[in-house]
Amino acid sequence: MTDIQRFDVDTAGPAEWARFHRYRRLRDEELHPGEPQSTDADFEHAARRRMPFFEAERFVALEGAEQVGNLMIWRRRPDAPNSEPFAPHADAWLGVLEAHRRRGIGSRLLQPLLAFMRTHGKTVATMNTFHPDGHAFLAAAGAVLKHRAVESRMQIDRLDAGQLARWKAEGNAGGALQFEIHAGRTPMERLAQLMTPFSDMFNDMPLGELELPPARYELDGYADWYRELDRSGGEHHLVLLVDADGMLAAMCEAYWDARTPERLYQRLTGVARAWRGRSLAKAVKAAMLENVRARHPGLRTVITYNAEVNAPILAINRRLGFEVHRRQGFYQLGVEALAAYMARRGEPAA
């Protein structure tokens, strides 16, 4: 018999944590074979630390002495700034080990999600998957596919240095723009000036049919992230193109983690509307790759996520040598659809 229990990261003892780690290592190897996994200490640190804007609840599915599944639910903390537009929203993710699937465990893990949504007045849960089982399950539960993303990877030794140099050189828009490059960290005073233009660029990206409040870049988020980077030896890389008044025309953000030194994770690349069609996205990407590669000769792979409908950035990435690694679907599940699914399955009301 499967037992669903709350997992409290602050009070769990060593035996419960050991069981949790056994489970998540198996799960991650099944879901993402060969990918680096967190150490137990790093995982527990991440699970216990107070996030600046969000808080999480965790549940586990147990069979005898072993854990076979988990559910995690996030919500924007009601006392965080700008939390009001997030009031109806929750995010959730669940997994069940392959050997235990199709026995109703995933559905039972949705029970605490339904209870959470009702308790906190949430009407929609956003969930995502990379896997066919996940798509089939979410569709069966009444969730609606709203957005697709693509994870692409590039092997850096295939980079054409000549092409990079040409792309970078094209970035000054006939002398109207100049590069501003921050390697490792960007001063907080400079970041403070960039939060609004970054948010505008992010919100200009296609996110399919996902119904979500506009994103807001926040300085406290960077301060918190930098503390984590200090702890892990990570770096934030930022390449900007700015005009004579320091106004932002294009940006490219990436991060590097000392625990996976052969990888660079791209974050947002964006060009302000007034500057589009002038090859600036290629220029900031090329400058980023050139700089980080010079700083970390051991770099091998660059990883990036893009909306499947974002043809311009996918085309640039293809020309840089990125290849599709995997595809991700984002779903939204309404509280009433979830309740109806639980009733159909004969699960007791939450």
Ligand X SMILES: CC(C)(COP(=O)(O)OP(=O)(O)OC[C@H]1O[C@@H](n2cnc3c(N)ncnc32)[C@H](O)[C@@H]1OP(=O)(O)O)[C@@H](O)C(=O)NCCC(=O)NCCS
Q: Give the interface with ligand X as residue ranges (CB under 6 A).
A: 31, 93-96, 101-107, 127, 129, 131, 133-134, 136-138, 140
Nearer to ligand X, 134 or 197 (CB): 134
Nearer to ligand X, 94 or 272 (CB): 94
What is the largest distance, in Å, between two alpha-carbon atoms of the chain?
A: 69
Q: How far is the CB of 341 from ligand X (least distance, A)?
A: 9
Nearer to ligand X, 175 or 348 (CB): 348
Q: How far is the CB of 91 from ligand X (least distance, A)?
A: 10
- In one letter, which amino acid is 156? I
Name the token pair of 335.
Answer: 């509280």
Q: How far is the CB of 16 from ligand X (least distance, A)?
A: 21
Q: How far is the CB of 335 from ligand X (least distance, A)?
A: 16
Q: How far is the CB of 67 from ligand X (least distance, A)?
A: 13
Residue 61: count of CB within 10 angstroms of its CB: 24
CA distances from 172 to 7, 93, 168, 280, 293 (A): 53, 43, 8, 8, 21
The residues, any chain, with a CB within 8 Å of residue 250's CB and separated by 6 or more, are 171, 177, 240, 241, 269, 270, 271, 272, 275, 280, 281, 283, 284
Kindly give the residue spans of alpha helices, DSSP state H, lying in the chain: 14-31, 40-48, 105-119, 132-140, 161-169, 188-203, 219-232, 280-295, 311-320, 335-344
Nearer to ligand X, 60 or 299 (CB): 60
Nearer to ligand X, 111 or 266 (CB): 111
Nearer to ligand X, 88 or 104 (CB): 104
Q: How far is the CB of 293 from ligand X (least distance, A)?
A: 34
Tokens 């009001």, located at residue: 84
Nearer to ligand X, 3 or 160 (CB): 3
**DSSP sequence for 20-35:** HHHHHHHHHHHHSTT-
Q: How far is the CB of 59 from ligand X (least distance, A)?
A: 12
Q: What share of the chain is helix, strand, coil (3-state, %, to 5)?
A: 40, 30, 30
Contact, 289 vs 265, CB < 8 A? Answer: no
Give the residue nearest to ligand X (CB).
Answer: 134
- In one letter, which amino acid is 29? E
Tell me the sheet residues that pair with 5.
60
Name the token pair of 33.
Answer: 């074979």
Beta-strand pair 54-63/144-155: unpaired
Contact, 349 vs 164, CB < 8 A? Answer: no
Rounded CA gap, 294 and 263, in Å? 14
Nearer to ligand X, 96 or 292 (CB): 96
Nearer to ligand X, 105 or 238 (CB): 105
Q: How far is the CB of 246 from ligand X (least distance, A)?
A: 42
Q: How far is the CB of 166 from ligand X (least distance, A)?
A: 41
